[in-house]
Amino acid sequence: MAKDKIALLEKVGLFRACSRKELDYIARVTDEVRVEAGRVLAAKDQPGHEFFLILEGTAVVQIDNGINLGPGDFFGEMALLDGGPRLASVVAQTDMDLIVLGHREFSSLIGEVPTISRAIMKVLAQRLREAEAGHTL
């Protein structure tokens, strides 16, 4: 597996606790993609087929006044986890470098790599907490 891709993945927070073997596996099932500012990466109420992890650039989740996401953040997990539509639109604010996983690769990744499943669950719990706090402000 290309050493530079592994080196890139090692720096991503979501993959920090992964072993070398797990990183090899992640490198095999992920794609790196560059998108331009303004690209709609997820469309509210539409079916979702991809999970995105930000390497460079920023995106905004179009909820309330907008939730900003940057390097190390991920999105698109919800529609893949429960099969429901996208909860919100997510739009690239700048040109972005992303790691993208299709539905099948995402499912196999969370099945094969427990450290990643736990990290995603932790972020989901934090987002629920923040959303709940937002409702009571």
Q: Which residues bind ligand CMP (CB under 6 A)?
A: 42, 48, 61, 63, 67, 75-79, 86-88, 90, 127, 131
Distance CA(74)–CA(98), nearest Å, equals 9
Among 53, 133, 126, 118, which residue's Cα sits nearest to residue 90?
A: 53
Q: How far is the CB of 70 from ligand CMP (least distance, A)?
A: 12
Residue 83: phi and psi, rounded to 5, are 75, 5
- Closest approach, Cβ 61 to ligand CMP, in A, equals 4
Q: Which is nearer to ligand CMP, 26 or 42 (CB)?
A: 42
Question: Cα 43 to chain center, whole Å?
Answer: 15
The residue among 20 and 39 lying less far from ligand CMP, judged by its C-beta, is: 39
Report the distance separating Cα 83 and Cα 86, nearest Å.
9
In terms of CB distance, is 46 or 94 closer to ligand CMP?
Answer: 46
8 vs 27: CA distance, rounded Å? 10
CB of 40 to ligand CMP, least distance (A): 11
Hey, what amino acid is at 44? K
CB of 121 to ligand CMP, least distance (A): 13
21 vs 136, which CB is nearer to ligand CMP? 136
